[in-house]
Amino acid sequence: MTALITEEQRRELLENGNAAVNGGQADPWPVVKLFTPDAHATWLLVQLDPRDEDTAYGLCDLGVGVPRLDHVRLSDLQSIRGPRNLPVARDTHFVPKRPLSEYVRRAEADGSIND
C-alpha cells in the first residue's frame, strides 16, 4: 500500500474518510492520482475508509469511456498489471486544481479524466 500512496496522502485520505463518516466535507479535492502507465485507467482518490484503511473512494476511469464515482481497494490496485505488465503508479506531479465534483463533471463530458 505504501508504494501507491505516501504516508502524508494516507493521513489526508483518512481525514477525508473520517469527515465523510461524520457528515462533513461534501466536495473534497482529490488527494492522489493513480494510473496505469501502459493502459488508460486513472483513479482520483479523495478518501480512505477509516474502518479498514484499504477501501478508497473517488473518480474511477477504467479507460472505457464511462468514468464514475466508485470505491476501490488499494490492495486490489496493487495487483493490477497493464498489457506490458506495468503496475499501477502514483502521479508524483499531480496537483489538484478543482474539487471532485468538477473533475466528475468534466470527465462525464469528455468520457475520461483529462487532467
Give me the pLDDT at residue 88, please: 97
Using CA atoms, how far apart are residues 7 and 87, in angstroms rounded to an integer? Answer: 20
Give me the pLDDT at residue 24, please: 77
Confidence tier at 114 by pLDDT (50, 70, 90): confident
Give me the pLDDT at residue 1, please: 40
pTM here is: 0.93
Average pLDDT over residues 1-9: 82
Give me the pLDDT at residue 69, please: 97
Q: What is the pLDDT of residues 75-93, one digit of tens each?
A: 999 999 989 999 999 999 9
| Residue 107 scores a pLDDT above 70 | yes
Q: What is the pLDDT of residues 14-72, one digit of tens each?
A: 999 999 988 877 899 999 999 999 999 999 999 999 999 999 999 999 988 899 999 99
Give me the pLDDT at residue 8, please: 97
Contacts of 62-67 with C-beta under 8 Å, sequence gap 24+, read 63/36, 63/39, 63/112, 65/111, 65/112, 66/111, 67/42, 67/104, 67/107, 67/108, 67/111, 67/112, 67/113
